[in-house]
Chain A
Amino acid sequence: MTTTLVRAARPLGAEPRDLLLRDGLVAEVAPPRTLTAPDGARTVEAEGLVALPGLVDLHTHLREPGREDAETVETGTRAAALGGFTAVHAMANTAPVADTAGVVEQVWRLGREAGWCDVRPVGAVTVGLEGQRLAELGAMADSAAGVRVFSDDGKCVFDAVLMRRALEYVKAFDGVVAQHAQEPRLTEGAQMNEGAVSGVLGLRGWPAVAEEAVIARDVLLAGHVGSRLHVCHLSTAGSVEIVRWAKARGVDVTAEVTPHHLLLTDELVRGYDPVYKVNPPLRTDDDVRALRAGVADGTIDVVATDHAPHPVEDKDCEWSAAAMGMTGLETALSVVVQALVEPGHLDWAGVARVMSQTPARIGRVASQGGALQVGEAANLVLVDPAARWTVDPAAMATKGRNSPFAGRELPARVVATFWEGHPTVLDGALHSPNTGPRPAEAGSTWTR
C-alpha cells in the first residue's frame, strides 16, 4: 500500500495541517510542515488547498449493464474520481434492472475491478421498476453488494400501498427508500417546467405540484409507519417547504438537490437545446433561491449529482425526441462552490457535510464521509479553491457529452483524490486505479 504525506492542506477549510496517509488510513495529523515523509512515501504539496473527506454521491447513473454506449462502470467511476468522489451510488435503472442480488453484485464487482471509487449499487424497489410488486429487497441487502438504498429512480413508486410496504419492509435491514417524486398522470408527455416559459414555447408543462403532491404523501406515510425516507432531487420551492414541515414534525426524512437545480433555470430552454432537458425539469429563479436556502438551513441534507450520461444521438435532435438527463460528476463540486459557497450559504465544513458525510450516513457507507481524523479510512479530496476553469465536455472522462455547463467558467478544481489511501487522481488528472489489498470491504461492517 502506498504512503502519502499531504503537506499543509486545510482540512475542511480550517487551519493548515500535514496529513500522513498510510495503509489506507489517516495515520497522523499534525501542524503544517512538522511531519516528514517516510522512506518511499509520496509527498503532495497542498499549500492553499482545502482537504475534504472524499465525496459520496447518492445518485449516479453508471448505465452498465445494458447501456454501455452511454457509460460504463469504468468510465463513470473515472469521472467520479476526477470529480473528487470516493463513492457513488449506482442507480438501478439499467438493463436488466438492478432488482436482484445477481445484478447488484455484478455492478458492485465491476466497481471493485475498475478501482476508481467505491461503487454502491442501489436496488430497485419494484420488479423491473414497473411499480407492481416489490423486488427482493432483502436478498439485495444480504448480497455482497450490501444494498441499503432502494429506488425506482426515473420512475415514481406511485402506488401508495406499495410505497408504504417498501418503507416498512426495508426497516428490517436498515435500508432507505429513495423516492423519485413524480405524479405520473400530471406529467404525461411533460417536457419542461410548467410556467410562463412553457406557455410561450408551446412545450407540455411539468407542474411543481406533480412533485410536491407525492412528497407530501410520502412524508406522511413515512411518519405513519415510522420509516426513514429519502427524497431524490428536490426541484421546487414547495418541495422544500414540505420537507421543512415534515422535519419539524419529526418525520425521519432526508432530501437531496442536484447541482444543476441550484444554478440553472427554465429560461435556458428558450433555445430548445436538449442539453437542458432533464427530469425533474429546470425550474424558476424563485425555486433556485428556495433550494439554496434549503441547503443553507439544513432542510436539504445532501447535494447529489443525478449524473445521467447519454450518447450524442439522444441529445442531437429536436427537444421532444431527446432523452432527459445531464452529466454532473466532474462539475458537481465546482457548481456547489459557485451556487452555495461563494454566496455564503455554506462553508467548507458545510460542503463536506452535504457532499460526503450526510450522503455516507444515508447510504450507510461506514468507511466514508469522515472528518479527516486519525484512524479513519483515508478517503479525501484536495481542492484548489482559487482555481477557475472552463467546462469542456469533450475533455471529460465520462462518455456523456451532455453537460449543461459546457463553456461556463466555474470556480474551484479537484487537484487530488485519495480512495483508501490510494491516489486515484493527482495534479488534476487520473493517476491509477486502486487494485491493491483493501482495508475496507464495501458492504462490510468495517468501521472507522
Chain B
Amino acid sequence: MRHLLSTADLSHAEAVRVLDVAEQMAATQQREIKKLPTLRGRTVVNLFFEDSTRTRISFETAAKRLSADVITFSAKGSSVSKGESLKDTALTLQAMGADAVVIRHGSSGAPLRLARSGWTSGAVLNAGDGTHEHPTQALLDAFTLRRHLVGGGDAADRVGADLAGRHVVVVGDVLHSRVARSNVHLLHVLGARTTLVAPPTLLPIGVETWPCEVSYDLDAALAGDVQGPVDAVMALRVQLERMDAAYFPSAREYSRRYGIDAARLGLLPPHASLLHPGPMNRGLEITAEAADGARSRIVEQVTNGVAVRMAALYLLLAGEDA
C-alpha cells in the first residue's frame, strides 16, 4: 500500500493483512510496555481540517505507540483558519519532512487530491473526507466484527480469516455518511452481506449500484426478512440539522422508525453485536439501554481503533510490501 484513501482500493488480501497486523498490534497493547520501536525517527503529521477529537487522539496514540514523531495540525487557531490553502499547508508539511500525512477534511476527495497532486511525497492516510470515506473506521469495524464472529476467541483462529457469509445491517444517515460508504466496500471485499436501512431521503441516488441490499424497514431487516439472519447491526450518527433540511420530520419520528433500542435488539439472534462509530446521539439513533447493553461493542471499537491505525501506519511506512 502506498496510501490508504478508500476501502474500495483494497484487495481481499490487503484488507485481511491489515486485520492480521492489527491483531499483532492489539496483542502488544496487552503488555505493560505498550510502545514499539518500529517507526522511530519517522514523522507522522495529523492534519485535521475538521474537528474530531476522537479520531485525532486515536491516530496520535497509534503513531506514538509505534515511536513515530507526531505533529498535530488542527485547522482552528492555525494558518488554515487565516485562509491558507490545502496546497500551501501540504507544501509546508512536506518541507518539514512528513513521512505520512493523516488527513481529516470536510471536502470529499481532499485526501486523494493530496495524494495525487505531488504536494507531498509522504503516504496519505484518509481519516475521513467530507461525505466520502473513512477507511480506518471501516477497518476497525471489520476487526471488531471478526473478533466476535470468527473462531472460538483465540487470535490464531482468526488470522487470515475474512467475514464470508456474515450479514451486517447498517442503519442511519447513509447519504451523508463516510462510514457507511467505507463499510459497504470493505464488507463486500471481505465476503459479508450488507443491508443498508434508512428513510429514502437519507439514501443517495444510485445506491442500487452499490454491492449491498437496501431497505426502508428496520424491523424487517433486523428480523432477517431482507437478507437472512443478522450478525451485527451498526447505527450511524444522525445530525439534528438534517431535520431542518426536511430529510425527516422530527427527532421523535426518526427514533421511532430508525432508532436502535432494546426491543429492536431483541429481534436479533443471540450472538449478534451492536456497533456505532461515535459520537452517539443517545436518544436519537440509539437508546442508552442499547448503547450500554451486553451486545454493545462500542467501547471496544475505540480500543480496536488504535490497533487498526497502528497496523495501517505500520503497513504504509514500514510494511515489507509498502
Contacts and interface: CB of A to CB of B under 8 A. Distances in A.
Interface string B91-134: 00000000000000111111011001100000000000111110
B133 to A, nearest CB: 7
Nearest to A196: B206
Contacts of B38: none
Contacts of A313: 85
A204 B132 CA distance: 10
Contacts of A199: 204-207, 209-210
B206 A201 contact: no
B206 A320 contact: no
Interface residues of B, number: 27
B178 interface: yes
B205 A317 contact: no
Q: Which has the most chain A C-beta neighbours within 10 Å: B8, B85, B130?
A: B130
Contacts of B129: 202
B130 A320 contact: yes
B76 interface: no
A63 to B, nearest CB: 21
Contacts of A194: 205
B83 to A, nearest CB: 11
Interface size on A, as a range, is: 20 to 34
Q: Which has the most chain B C-beta neighbours within 10 Å: A191, A197, A272?
A: A272
A200 interface: yes
Nearest to A321: B107
B86 interface: yes
Contact of A205 (B181, B204, B210): B204
Contacts of A205: 204-205
A195 B205 contact: yes
Interface string A194-218: 1111111111110100000000000
Interface string A297-312: 0000000000000000
B87 A195 contact: no
A197 B206 contact: yes
Interface string A175-193: 0000000000000000100
A198 B109 contact: no
A273 B8 CA distance: 18
Nearest to B85: A317
Given A198-B204, A202-B130, A313-B85, A319 B209 contact: no
A202 B205 contact: no
A319 B113 contact: yes
A201 B85 contact: no
A316 interface: yes
Contact of B178 (A202, A207, A318, A321): A202
Interface string B123-158: 000000111110000000000000000000000000
Contacts of B131: 202-204
A250 interface: no
A318 B206 contact: no
A271 interface: yes
Contacts of B178: 202
Interface string A88-120: 000000000000000000000000000000000
B86 A318 contact: yes
A408 B250 CA distance: 51
Given A199-B205, A317-B113, 14 more contacts: A191-B108, A198-B205, A199-B209, A202-B129, A202-B131, A204-B131, A205-B204, A205-B205, A271-B116, A272-B109, A273-B113, A318-B109, A319-B110, A320-B107
29 contacts: A195-B206, A196-B206, A196-B209, A197-B206, A198-B206, A199-B209, A200-B210, A201-B132, A202-B129, A202-B130, A202-B178, A203-B108, A204-B131, A205-B204, A207-B205, A272-B109, A272-B112, A272-B113, A273-B116, A313-B85, A316-B85, A316-B87, A317-B113, A318-B110, A318-B113, A320-B106, A320-B107, A320-B108, A321-B86
Interface of B: 8, 85-87, 105-110, 112-113, 116-117, 129-133, 178, 181, 204-207, 209-210
Query: Closest 5 interchain pairs by CB?
Result: A272-B109, A196-B206, A199-B204, A202-B132, A202-B131
